[in-house]
Structures are given as structure tokens and as C-alpha cells.
């Protein structure tokens, strides 16, 4: 009986997780940085988006140019590659831009900040002052 219950629970969890993944971007109501176990980072930038003033394609081009410029300045080496995963408008009307970083140092350099570990798994991000 216990195995049957465990099987049902595991199947339900698998179903819920797969459903959750499909709508993952709409879960974010504010910008979020996800740190994966392998050290990779996913940044979900969520911002107000006024379609009368801004164009989603223009935002996508801007993000692509930033990623391309960063890659060019860093020799397009795989360990320094920042990937633009998506640019879209959320159900809330806000814009979502998703970047993937291979690690904390690339995230820090791309965003002009420092990233420090605190207590193992908490992260402190400090924005560097422009000169």
C-alpha cells in the first residue's frame, strides 16, 4: 500500500512540476536571479512595459546587441558566453527578458557589479559605482 501511495505522490509531483515549468515566466512578478546547483545563473528581468512608448522587437534587439557586444569584447569563448533566452510580454503586461550566465563572474562583469558568497548559498550583489 505504501509503495502505491508513494507512486501516486511521485506522479503528482512530476505532473505539477512539468505544468509549472510551462508557465514559469509568468510566476515572476519582479526581477529574479536563479542560481543553479552547477553554478549557472538565470536572470529573469521583469519591468513595466508601456507598449505606446516601447516596442518588444526593439527591446529584443537592444538585449541581443548587449549580449553580442559582451561576447565580442570577451573573445566569444564558451566560458564567457551570455545567452539571451527570451524576450516577451507577460500576462501582467510587464516585459520579461531572460539571460543565462555560465557563472557568477560573467554575471558580475556583464551587469557591472560584484558578486560575493555569504554563508554558502546566499548571494550578495553590490553594484559598482561608475567613474
pLDDT, one tens digit for every residue, the chain (131 residues): 444 443 333 333 333 333 344 455 567 788 888 888 898 999 999 999 887 787 899 999 999 999 999 988 887 776 778 999 999 998 888 999 999 999 988 998 999 888 776 555 555 555 444 43
Backbone φ, ψ for residue 55 (5° rounding):
-120, 135
Output the pTM of the full model. Answer: 0.70
**Count of CB atoms situated within 10 Å of the CB of 23:** 9
The number of residues in the chain equals 131
Which residues make beta-bridge pairs with 113? 127
Instruction: Give the separation between CA 98 and CA 109, rounded to whole angstroms.
Output: 17
* Three cell numbers written together for 16: 505539477
Instruction: Give the separation between CA 95 and CA 46, rounded to whole angstroms.
Output: 6
Instruction: Give the separation between CA 87 and CA 44, rounded to whole angstroms.
Output: 10
Instruction: Give the separation between CA 89 and CA 82, rounded to whole angstroms.
Output: 21
CB 43 within 8 A of CB 103: no
Instruction: Give the separation between CA 12 and CA 5, rounded to whole angstroms.
Output: 11
Amino acid at each position: 500500500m505504501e509503495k502505491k501511495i508513494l507512486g501516486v505522490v511521485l506522479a503528482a509531483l512530476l505532473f505539477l512540476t512539468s505544468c509549472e515549468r510551462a508557465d514559469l515566466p509568468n510566476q515572476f512578478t519582479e526581477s529574479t536571479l536563479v542560481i543553479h546547483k552547477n553554478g549557472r545563473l538565470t536572470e529573469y528581468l521583469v519591468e513595466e512595459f508601456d507598449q505606446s512608448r516601447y516596442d518588444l522587437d526593439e527591446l529584443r534587439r537592444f538585449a541581443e546587441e548587449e549580449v553580442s557586444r559582451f561576447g565580442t569584447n570577451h573573445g566569444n569563448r564558451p566560458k564567457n558566453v551570455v545567452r539571451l533566452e527570451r524576450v516577451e510580454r507577460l500576462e501582467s503586461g510587464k516585459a520579461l527578458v531572460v539571460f543565462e550566465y555560465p557563472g557568477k563572474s560573467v554575471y558580475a562583469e556583464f551587469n557591472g557589479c560584484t558578486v560575493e558568497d555569504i554563508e554558502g548559498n546566499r548571494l550578495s550583489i553590490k553594484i559598482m559605482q561608475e567613474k
